[in-house]
Amino acid sequence: MCSIFLVAQEKADKGEKVSQTFKDTRVVNGHSVETNKLGQLKFIIAHRFGTVNGGIKELYGLDQSTIRLGFDYGLLNWLTIGVGRSSFEKTVDGFVKAKLVHQRENGAPISVTWLSTAAVNTMKNLDRTRDIPDRTRWTYTNQALIARKFSDAFSLQLMPTHVHRNLVHLSEHKNDIISIGAAGKLQLTKILSFKTEYYYSLDNQLPDDITNSLALGFDIETKHHVFQLHLSNSRGMIEKFFITETRGEWDKGDIMIGFNITRDFQIKGRKYK
């Protein structure tokens, strides 16, 4: 009996899932490999100020701001949907996110999550001489999030990404952009972690004034909130913006202070005492 019990316990331990590769579903601008739990509603307030090189006259960027409000919901433990609205270009976006592989102790060495997004620019067309069809306002992103939690202190993620833009400004610009992202998390204390995120777009795809997105910051975790404070050279907070429209340069001071505030609500499956 003892022998049978030990064998069964060994098999159970072998299949145990690795949890909290990242503390939240976002790294900084981009998504992490994490998905919402079943019935979990996540409200995200994302905020970016202007560049710090504006000096004291612009209060080092605090006189300017861009905001995104978003709601994410866990349809299943491995499937999340979401919608958001950005003040930047009055853009509405939505996404579907599915965890395909879950890292396990002595099992799968990595977690893999698939992300598909769509974003539409809802700004009014001010050029009366040119008719812009609604279909040209859309941008689509497909991304594989591949992550491994090496220890309780360190996690690493890679993000091969494809962005398709229905409309580009010039004919020589490409509609399809291939980018490779990398992100890391370093747990400093029980509630404090440091994270960094970088997206590199392959050469000859974007105009010369477009730069690669680099962001770094800190996460502070409480029971129902995650507060993220960070620095980034990207103004926008969805893939359409930070992958294909980043113009800031760190060495020139084009750095924006930003923060994300996340609040979780358990809508389905909540147990009351």
pLDDT tens per residue, range 165-192: 997 776 677 889 999 999 999 999 989 9
Question: Which range (25-34, 69-78, 201-210, 211-220) has the least confidence?
Answer: 201-210
Other CB atoms within a 10 A radius of the CB of residue 192 amount to: 13
* Higher pLDDT, residue 100 or 10: 100
Residue 58 confidence (pLDDT): 80
Residue 209 confidence (pLDDT): 87
What average pLDDT does this structure show over 214-224? 87
**Fold of the domain built from segment(s) 27-266:** Porin (2.40.160)
Where does residue 153 fall: left (phi above 0), alpha (psi -120 to 50 degrees), or beta otherwise?
alpha
Range 213-218, long-range pairs (CB < 8 A, 24+ positions): 213/29, 213/242, 213/243, 213/246, 214/250, 215/27, 215/28, 215/29, 215/242, 216/28, 217/28, 217/258, 218/192, 218/193, 218/194
Q: Which two tokens stand for residue 217?
A: 């910051």
Closest Cα partner for 30 from 264, 265, 260, 210? Answer: 260
> Band of the pLDDT at 272, cuts 50, 70, 90?
very low
What is the average pLDDT score of the chain? 87
Q: Which two tokens stand for residue 145?
A: 């999030």
CA separation (Å) from 57 to 61, 64, 232, 252?
9, 11, 21, 17
For residue 273, pLDDT over 70 is answered with no
CA separation (Å) from 202 to 44, 113, 174, 177, 231?
30, 22, 12, 8, 23
Entry field: residues in the chain: 273
